[in-house]
A and B are shown apart, each in its own frame.
Chain A
Amino acid sequence: MVQTKKQKYLFLAFCLVPTFLLFAVFTLYPLLSGLYFSFFSWSGAAADREFVGISNYITLLNDGIIPRTILHDYFLVITKVFGIMVLAMYFAVAIMQMKIKEAPFYRIIFFFPNIMSVVVIGILWMFIYNPSLGLINSGLEAVGLENLTRPWLGSETWALPAIVLPSIWAGIGLFMLMLMGGIGTISKSYYEAAELDGASEWQQFWKVTVPLLWPQIKVSILYIVITTLNGSFIIVQIMTGGGPNNSTHVMGSYLYQQAFEQYNFGYGATIGVMILVLSLITVFLLQRLLRREKVQY
């Protein structure tokens, strides 16, 4: 059967149009509309919508909480990148080089928190940090360190570090698997050659594994940065709601508070634009930074 051009186009339209329409309505339109909203003052009621130009952006620049939220986001980005990459790298190298029997056990166990819900992880860790019935304080008391106990999530100093820990806990498995996949593709001959040249295991790690694993390392870092900037507010919202005294607010949780709790929808959209711009700039800069370090063999 020879297809006519018309039939071909009809089939293409059948494949592409419904999907694209829904994508346009539920993804593209809301994103563009979010940009548009940022020029309005709006409490949600139709009559209240008022064009205010760049007034929201001026408010944003003068909002004392904004710099703190940005700082908190980048604190999470940096601690997560280092925490996850160092541990995932150690585990991946250890498992791949030792050829131990229980390796599948580690793969399965370490990865499991990656598929747990953020709500479950957040609430579980709220328990762990609970001042009276949690694991940490009762554990410290049990070993005679009761002077180190504190209400972790209620402390302005400790709440943010207390939020990072579960994010690292839940994130390591995925990146360990990605790095293990990369290590698996490195030819043994590189290590044999390095060993003949008298390189120690430590030197082999830095001179062979890291450079050859660079594509996976780069992707992992970028992925952690993007998901943290775009999604860390979820665990913040669950564990502290931004408190105590704004000490854990990140950009996204502040957006949620402004838009959906205080009904400043226009200002919330302005914060959203800021998140978008900051994450695009960060990814762009990071890509340049990581590219320069690339080694060719």
Chain B
Amino acid sequence: MLTRIGIRLPLILWSLAVLYPIIWMILGSFKTNAEIYANPWGLPESFNFQNFFDAWNNYNIDLGVFNSLFVTVLGTVIALILAVPTSYAIERLTFRGSTLLFNLYISAMMIPMVLGWIPLFFLLMRIGMLDNLFGLAIVYAVSQLPFSIFVLTTFMGSIPKELEESASIDGMSPYGILWKIITPLSMSGIITVTIMNAIQFWNEYFMALIFLQSRENYTLGLAVDFISREAVYTNAWGTLFASLTIAIIPIIILYAIFQRRISKGMTEGAIKG
């Protein structure tokens, strides 16, 4: 039988393996280039914010932050506007084909979307939404529809049916029921979906790479990637560390506040596949 320490040791080692690279990245953002080369493992000599200043002002990270914020907020709002009524209809209104429709949405989670990105590229071009943050937000919102519908139907399924029935007898229209009863009562699910989608959109890289072209439209991921490719020639490693840190700060804050909800939302979303 293993001793307790023997069991615990891998847990401690893995904590270090997870934490150290992230801490190293944050520490690196305070180092000068000379320090990064001279002492990769060490602490910075002083905590100066020059790298953050450079990243923000000289490397367009500010634009990346605002563009990412824009697509994240717009994408999550559109996803909710689309997913809430559909989830309600699928979960609560009996209509022919509701199971089929649900399965159609859910099975989209298993399909490799990369096949669809080529036609999507030309479609966005035709409707003038290529290299357009609004277009990207719509694409993002639709891409998270399957997940959103999956989670929301689960939450709505636990709302007692009697509430809707009595509201209906009292003369409330189905629109009113959806807006004044179902939406507030599934707020917990709506918040979960919103956080999960927001993280997804904030972190997204590949669709942005394909569908955005001009630098002023770059989302944070693209901007960071751009600096990373340039750093090979410019050696702006400190700036790159700082941009990476800027990219994960909102995620750290969100995680600190909603840790339980995020891990629950993700494991629930994962069970779909």
The chain A residues found within 8 Å of chain B, CB to CB, are: 1, 3, 7-8, 11-12, 14-16, 18-20, 22-23, 25-27, 29-31, 33-35, 37, 44, 87, 90-91, 94-95, 98, 100, 105-120, 123-128, 132-135, 138-139, 142, 169, 172-174, 177-178, 181, 200-201, 219-220, 222-223, 226-227, 229-231, 233-234, 237-238, 252, 255-256, 259-260, 265, 268-269, 272-273, 275-276, 279, 283
The distance in angstroms between the C-alpha atoms of A297 and B188, with both chains bound, is 35
Q: Is B123 a contact partner of A29 (Cβ separation < 8 A)?
A: yes
Residues from chain A with Cβ under 8 Å of B18 in the complex: 109-110, 112-113, 169
The distance in angstroms between the C-alpha atoms of A169 and B20, with both chains bound, is 12
Give the 5 A-B residue pairs with the shortest CB-CB distance, closest first: A272-B115, A30-B116, A117-B203, A33-B119, A15-B89
Hey, what's the 0/1 contact readout for B114-147 against A, CB within 8 Å counting as 1? Answer: 1111111111000000000000001101110100
Number of interface residues of B (CB under 8 A): 88
**Does B191 sit at the interface, judged by CB under 8 A?**
no
Q: Is B116 a contact partner of A31 (Cβ separation < 8 A)?
A: yes
Q: Is B247 a contact partner of A117 (Cβ separation < 8 A)?
A: yes
Hey, what's the 0/1 contact readout for B164-188 against A, CB within 8 Å counting as 1? Answer: 0000100101110010000000000
Q: Is B270 a contact partner of A133 (Cβ separation < 8 A)?
A: no
**Does B225 sit at the interface, judged by CB under 8 A?**
yes
Q: Kindly provide the distance from the CB of B92 to the nearest chain A CB, expressed in whole angstroms.
A: 10
Within 8 A of A (CB), among B73-106: 82-83, 85-86, 88-89, 93, 95, 101, 105
**Given A30-B120, A115-B262, does the pair A14, B40 have CB atoms closer than 8 Å?**
no
Q: Is B224 a contact partner of A123 (Cβ separation < 8 A)?
A: yes
Closest A residue to B95 using CB positions: A12
The distance in angstroms between the C-alpha atoms of A250 and B41, with both chains bound, is 33
Q: Is B273 a contact partner of A123 (Cβ separation < 8 A)?
A: no
Q: Is A16 a contact partner of B101 (Cβ separation < 8 A)?
A: yes
Residues from chain A with Cβ under 8 Å of B4 in the complex: 98
The distance in angstroms between the C-alpha atoms of A48 and B65, with both chains bound, is 38
Q: Is A279 a contact partner of B112 (Cβ separation < 8 A)?
A: yes
The distance in angstroms between the C-alpha atoms of A117 and B254, with both chains bound, is 14
B271: which of A30, A33, A219, A252 is its contact (CB, 8 Å)?
A219
Q: Is B273 a contact partner of A31 (Cβ separation < 8 A)?
A: no
Hey, what's the 0/1 contact readout for B201-243 against A, CB within 8 Å counting as 1? Answer: 0111110011000000000010011001000000001001100
**Does B266 sit at the interface, judged by CB under 8 A?**
yes
Closest B residue to A278 using CB positions: B112
Residues from chain A with Cβ under 8 Å of B82 in the complex: 18-19, 22
B206: which of A109, A139, A237 is its contact (CB, 8 Å)?
A237
19 pairs, A vs B, C-beta closer than 8 Å? A16-B85, A16-B101, A26-B142, A26-B143, A30-B116, A30-B120, A37-B119, A105-B15, A106-B15, A117-B202, A119-B221, A120-B203, A127-B25, A127-B240, A127-B241, A135-B40, A174-B263, A177-B263, A222-B273
Q: Is A124 a contact partner of B244 (Cβ separation < 8 A)?
A: yes
**Does B257 sit at the interface, judged by CB under 8 A?**
no
Q: Is B114 a contact partner of A133 (Cβ separation < 8 A)?
A: no
Q: Is A100 a contact partner of B8 (Cβ separation < 8 A)?
A: yes
**Does B160 sit at the interface, judged by CB under 8 A?**
no
Q: Kindly provide the distance from the CB of B230 to the nearest chain A CB, expressed in whole angstroms.
A: 12
The chain B residues found within 8 Å of chain A, CB to CB, are: 1-2, 4, 7-8, 10-11, 14-15, 17-22, 24-25, 28, 36-37, 40-41, 82-83, 85-86, 88-89, 93, 95, 101, 105, 108, 110-123, 138-139, 141-143, 145, 168, 171, 173-175, 178, 199, 202-206, 209-210, 221, 224-225, 228, 237, 240-241, 244, 247-248, 251, 254-255, 259, 262-263, 266-267, 270-271, 273
Q: Is B1 a contact partner of A201 (Cβ separation < 8 A)?
A: yes
Residues from chain A with Cβ under 8 Å of B203 in the complex: 115-120
Q: Kindly provide the distance from the CB of A118 to the nearest chain B CB, expressed in whole angstroms.
A: 6
**Given A25-B123, A115-B262, does the pair A120, B244 have CB atoms closer than 8 Å?**
yes
The distance in angstroms between the C-alpha atoms of A223 and B263, with both chains bound, is 16
The distance in angstroms between the C-alpha atoms of A172 and B18, with both chains bound, is 10
Q: Is A230 a contact partner of B175 (Cβ separation < 8 A)?
A: no
A1: which of B40, B168, B273 is its contact (CB, 8 Å)?
B168
Closest B residue to A95 using CB positions: B11
B1: which of A11, A115, A138, A200 is its contact (CB, 8 Å)?
A200
Closest A residue to B168 using CB positions: A1
A26: which of B85, B114, B139, B263 is its contact (CB, 8 Å)?
B139
The distance in angstroms between the C-alpha atoms of A73 and B138, with both chains bound, is 30
Q: Is A269 a contact partner of B8 (Cβ separation < 8 A)?
A: no
Chain B CB within 10 Å — which of A19, A20, A118 has the most? A19
Q: Is A174 a contact partner of B270 (Cβ separation < 8 A)?
A: yes
**Given A98-B7, A200-B1, does the pair A123, B120 have CB atoms closer than 8 Å?**
no
Q: Kindly provide the distance from the CB of B54 to the nearest chain A CB, expressed in whole angstroms.
A: 17
A123: which of B20, B209, B210, B240 is its contact (CB, 8 Å)?
B240
**Given A115-B262, A178-B271, A219-B270, does the pair A126, B228 have CB atoms closer than 8 Å?**
yes
Q: Is A178 a contact partner of B8 (Cβ separation < 8 A)?
A: no
Residues from chain A with Cβ under 8 Å of B86 in the complex: 15-16, 19-20
Q: Is A27 a contact partner of B116 (Cβ separation < 8 A)?
A: yes
Residues from chain B with Cβ under 8 Å of A95 in the complex: 11
Q: Is A27 a contact partner of B108 (Cβ separation < 8 A)?
A: yes
